[in-house]
Structure 1
């Protein structure tokens, strides 16, 4: 049996579903709900400064990626994404997904898991939004904002543009806090188009920062 196969992937998607469902109950007066990985660093004040500039309904915010053929849906990379409350309500109420996500994994339903993209938690969310919502505002950051620091192909240098850093070492959290603590949060510049909202990389703040190699 593979160390990380379809069962494990589907269970991660179920965990994401359960978090979204639980968050609606635990935080009954919040406007936005986010899901993030446990191996990333987030500049929370900067993230909030950007979110406050965005619509409060029908919002899907993150690093958007194209969906899997034949469904040309968009989804946000699972390292972190933010949804408006109304979208979360529609996601967890989607009957086919709710039925599978709230029961124990059954390999006999593998085809059904795959049809709902439950082999990838972020694609599952994007596909469900595609199915249940219209007129969604997709707010998209760039790789200069949300990126990996180690180990994967979507690497980008650490700069003052950086908001979410993925695959970092535990020892780097203190360094990152020191890098960013004196920088007041301000909404990142963005443009609005018919395809959504796109945040821009600000060249003047692009000087590389360096983490220790210890």
Structure 2
């Protein structure tokens, strides 16, 4: 498993990459920088909160999500799965990998499942940790209307276009595109709340247990605590 951090240029640094980021990237070689700008945050939301960063910021994250899948498919031409996760998420990698090996290598769309209904106009997998089989990722990035939109900079006038593909939420956007393609050759694999859950705020809030695999909405200080708890769990059995 290769973990990479996908970043765009942030307004807090004048849309330039900071010296600290460049130093970290040179040291760890795990940072991908894109040529797009992050949107400005226009709400009071902070890390670990559920909710909305503001339309410009959310559209920026949707563009970044698209380019991550597009880039990964090109850079890693033989990998069977590509995942996208949030930066305030803890992942028990050994457990995740043994569970992943039980899933089909084709048509898989795995994670926390949200069903089409009152809250959402399409079914989708939560972006806190969404895993797509390669063929599903290829289907997603091949959608021509989205290919055009992600290459357009944000503007107030374009908001209706962006919203037509649910680009105000990056995970709903993925589900929207697959919906527009009739979910052809796509199989949802839903995770239980005891395994993939939030810790602070949002839906599916649970305490951390031995069943936890993806823990979302955590504080920076909690990464070390979770590593201390699960770091020696290197040979799990699939669940």
Aligned length: 188
Correspondence for 1:159 among 189, 194, 209: 209
**TM-score scaled by structure 1?**
0.81
| RMSD value, Cα | 1.9
2:238 is aligned with 1:187: yes
Correspondence for 1:76 among 108, 118, 125: 125
Provide the residue aligned with 2:58 in structure 1.
Answer: 9
Provide the residue aligned with 2:116 in structure 1.
Answer: 67
**TM-score scaled by structure 2?**
0.73
**CA deviation map 1:73-109 (0-9, x unaligned):** 3201111100011111111110111100122123222
2:225 is aligned with 1:175: yes
- Structure 2: gaps (5+ residues): 1-40, 44-52
* Secondary structure of the corresponding residue to residue 78 of structure 1: coil
Change (3 A) 1:68 1:120: farther
2:74 is aligned with 1:34: no
* Secondary structure of the corresponding residue to residue 144 of structure 1: coil
**CA deviation map 1:90-136 (0-9, x unaligned):** 11110111100122123222112111011110000011112224142
Q: CA deviation at 1:168?
A: 1.4
* Secondary structure of the corresponding residue to residue 171 of structure 1: helix
Provide the residue aligned with 1:198 in structure 2.
Answer: none
User: Take 2:176 and 2:139, find their aligned partners in 1: how far apart are those partners?
Assistant: 12
* 1:1-214 equivalent positions in 2, closer than 5 A: 2-3=42-43, 4-67=53-116, 73-132=122-181, 133-183=183-233, 184-188=235-239
User: Take 1:13 and 1:67, find their aligned partners in 2: how far apart are those partners?
Assistant: 20
* Dislocated runs of 4+, deviation >6 Å: none
Does the 8 Å CA contact 1:49/1:187 hold for their aligned counterparts?
A: yes
